[in-house]
Structure 1
Amino acid sequence: MDNHFTLNTVEIGDCKEVNRRLPDKSVNLALCSPPYPEKRGDKYPTVSEVDYPTWTARWMDSLVGKLADDGSVVVVIDKHVRNGVMSDFLLLTQLVLRQLGWKQHMTQIWFKHDGLPLGHKWWPHHCYEEILWFSRTTHPFCDPWAAGSPSTNLAVRNYDQSEWTNGEKSEKEGIARMRDVLVVPVGGNAKGVDHPAKYPQALCEALIKTFCPEGGTVLDCFAGSGTTLLAAKATGRNFYGIDVMKKYVDLARRRLEADDSQAA
C-alpha cells in the first residue's frame, strides 16, 4: 500500500515519524517555528533546554534524504534569558547540528518594530527573533531578489578607502536583494486565530520566495495554525503540514479550506 504523505495536506503526528513518508528529495524548504524549550507547556508538548539540542537533531535528521539536493531548513526561534544570563540551548543546538553534517548559513533577523516591550525593564527592549538557516550543501537554493524591493540606485557608490570604491558609476534602477533583517510587524498576525504562537504570513511569504523555487514544495513540521501553509499557497508553492496536536491540525485545515472558499 502506498503510504506516501499526500501533497498539499496537513497530518497529525510526530514529525520524526511522519517525515519518513515524504517522497525522497521532495522538499525544497522546511520552514518551521518549533516549540521553544520550557515554554507554553500547557498549550502543546515541549522539551527541556537540556534536551533541546538532541531533540532538534532528531527531527532534522528525519529530513535527511527528504530535502532536495539544494533544499534548506529555516527555523524561526528566539533566545532565552534566565536570571540575567543568556541560556546556551540555542548555541548548543547549532553546534550539535554542525557536528552532524548540517551546513549553517548566515542567520537572518526578524525585526518586530511594533512588538511588545519584552525583556528586563532595565535592559534594551528585545524586539527580534533569529531565523536560522541550514542545509546539507554549501550551495543551497536562494533567490534574494524574489522578495527584494525596487531601488533607483543599485550601484555601489560613495565608498572611500575601500576596494569597493566605484569611481563615477551612474545610478541604476532595478530590484535590490532582500536584506537579512526582515522588518515585519507583529500586527500582521492573523486575527481571531486560536493559537498561542502565531507569526505573520508576510514573514513566511518572504522566506518562502527567497529559499524555495517557484513551483517548489514547503514543509512545516510544526504547522500550528497553518500560517506557513497558507503562505506557500499564496506564493504558488506546494506544501506538507504536520502537527502533533489534533486541535491545531483541525485549525490549519479549516483555515486552508476557508482560503480555498475565498479563492473560488
Structure 2
Amino acid sequence: MRKLKNESMHLIVTSPPYNIGKEYERRTSNDVYVEQQAAAVAEAVRLLHPRGSICWQVGNSIEDGEVFPLDILLYPIFKNHGLKLRNRIVWTFGHGLHCQKRLSGRHETILWFTKSDDYTFNLDPIRVPSKYPEKKHFKGPNRGKVSSNPLGKNPSDVWDIPNVKSNHVEKTDHPCQFPVGLVERLVLALTEKGDSVLDPYLGVGSSAIAALKNGRHAFGCDIGEEYIQLARGRIQSLRNGELRTRPMNKPIYEPPLKGDQ
C-alpha cells in the first residue's frame, strides 16, 4: 500500500482477517489485532480519494466462547481519522457453523465510510425488484399512475447474499471467500467507470473481479502467494470469458414446500 499515490483510490473495499486463527493469520490478543488494523486503516485513509469510500467487512472474533463484534472494536479507528459512517450494512446468509451454546451466527457487517460529504453514490445500478411493482398512487394528481420506481427499489442496508460454501459456483481453496456479487454492489454504487478500486486483503481476488468486470481498475495485495496465484488465474478466466460468478441480484433459492411439488 505504501507504494501507491495519495488519494488515488476511489473505493477501498476489503474483508480483513477476524483474529480467529484461520490458516492465513496468526491469532493474537484483540488489543494487538486492533493495532494491526489501525496501521492498515491509516494507509487506506491516505490512499482514499476525497470523494471516495472505504468499506470494511468484518464478522466476530471469538475468545473462550465470548463474542467480540469487530465492527464495534474497529469503528473508533475510522472515526479518529475523521471519516463519516454512511451505512452499517448487514450481510446475512443462510449457511455456516452450527453453534451449541449460543445462536448460530448468520450475519456479518460492512462499515461504509466516506472522507467528506461530497462522495460518489449511484443508487440506480444496484436497485432490486420492487415488492409491489404495480402499486399505484391512490390520490392526488398522480392518482392511478404507478408509484414505484420502474428500475426497482433501494436494496436497503440488509443484504441477503449466499456466502461462498462448497457448492457455490465461485468456490476456490480459500476458506473465507468474498462473493463477487457482494463487492459488485459496492463497486457499482460507490465508483464510476474508470475509477480505481483497492483491496488490501485481496485473498483470491473477488474484489478485483467485481471491479474489472464493471470497467474499473483493480489493485490488491495479500501475503499468501497461493491466493495471489488463484486471483491471477481467476482474473485471466474473466478476461477469457470463462469465469463463472453468481449474478449480483439473483434471488435466493427457496425449495418448494412438500405440498407444492
Q: What TM bracket, shorter-length normalisation?
A: 0.7 to 0.9
- Which of 156, 161, 169 is the matching residue for 1:184? 161
TM-score between both structures, scaled by the size of structure 1? 0.78
1:207 aligns with 2:182: no
Give the 3-state SS of the residue equivalent to 1:20 in structure 2. coil
- Which of 201, 207, 226 is the matching residue for 2:205? 226
Match for residue 238 of structure 2? 259
Query: How far off is 1:64 after superposition?
Result: 3.0
Query: How far off is 1:261 after superposition?
Result: 2.4
Once the two structures are superposed, residues 239-259 of structure 1 have per-residue CA deviations (whole angstroms, 9 ceiling, x without a partner) of 101111222112211211222
1:216 aligns with 2:198: no
Query: How far off is 1:129 after superposition?
Result: 0.7
Match for residue 150 of structure 2? 174
**Cα distance change, pair 79–157 in 1 and its aligned pair in 2 (3 A):** farther
Q: Which amino acid aligns with 1:141?
A: T
1:62 aligns with 2:33: no
CA contact (8 A) 1:38 1:48 kept: no
Q: How many Å separate the matches in 2 of 1:106 and 1:210?
A: 13
Query: How far off is 1:45 after superposition?
Result: 4.4
Match for residue 39 of structure 1? 21
Residues matched between the structures, number? 236
**Cα distance change, pair 147–250 in 1 and its aligned pair in 2 (3 A):** same
Give the 3-state SS of the residue equivalent to 1:204 in structure 2. helix
Q: How many Å separate the matches in 1 of 2:111 and 2:104?
A: 22
Match for residue 8 of structure 1? none
Query: How far off is 1:136 after superposition?
Result: 1.9
- Which of 104, 114, 123 is the matching residue for 1:144? 123
Identity %: 23
What is the 5 A alignment of 1:3-152? 19-40=1-22, 42-45=23-26, 47-83=28-64, 85-87=66-68, 89-112=70-93, 114-118=94-98, 120-121=99-100, 123-151=102-130, 152=133
Q: How many Å separate the matches in 1 of 2:188 and 2:135?
A: 21
Q: Which amino acid aligns with 1:57?
A: A
Q: How many Å separate the matches in 1 of 2:143 and 2:189?
A: 32
**Cα distance change, pair 254–38 in 1 and its aligned pair in 2 (3 A):** same
CA contact (8 A) 1:219 1:240 kept: yes
Query: How far off is 1:134 after superposition?
Result: 1.7
Q: How many Å separate the matches in 2 of 1:231 and 1:44?
A: 24
Match for residue 244 of structure 1? 223
Once the two structures are superposed, residues 22-63 of structure 1 have per-residue CA deviations (whole angstroms, 9 ceiling, x without a partner) of 2332211011010111331x3344553122222222111112
Q: How many Å separate the matches in 2 of 1:95 and 1:177?
A: 28
Q: How many Å separate the matches in 1 of 2:24 and 2:75?
A: 26
**Cα distance change, pair 154–129 in 1 and its aligned pair in 2 (3 A):** farther
Relative to structure 2, which stretch is displaced further, 147-156 or 226-235?
147-156
Q: Which amino acid aligns with 2:96?
A: L
RMSD of aligned residue pairs (Cα, Å): 2.9
Unpaired runs of at least 5, structure 2:
243-261
Unpaired runs of at least 5, structure 1:
1-18, 159-166
Q: How many Å separate the matches in 2 of 1:236 and 1:153?
A: 33
Query: How far off is 1:101 after superposition?
Result: 2.0
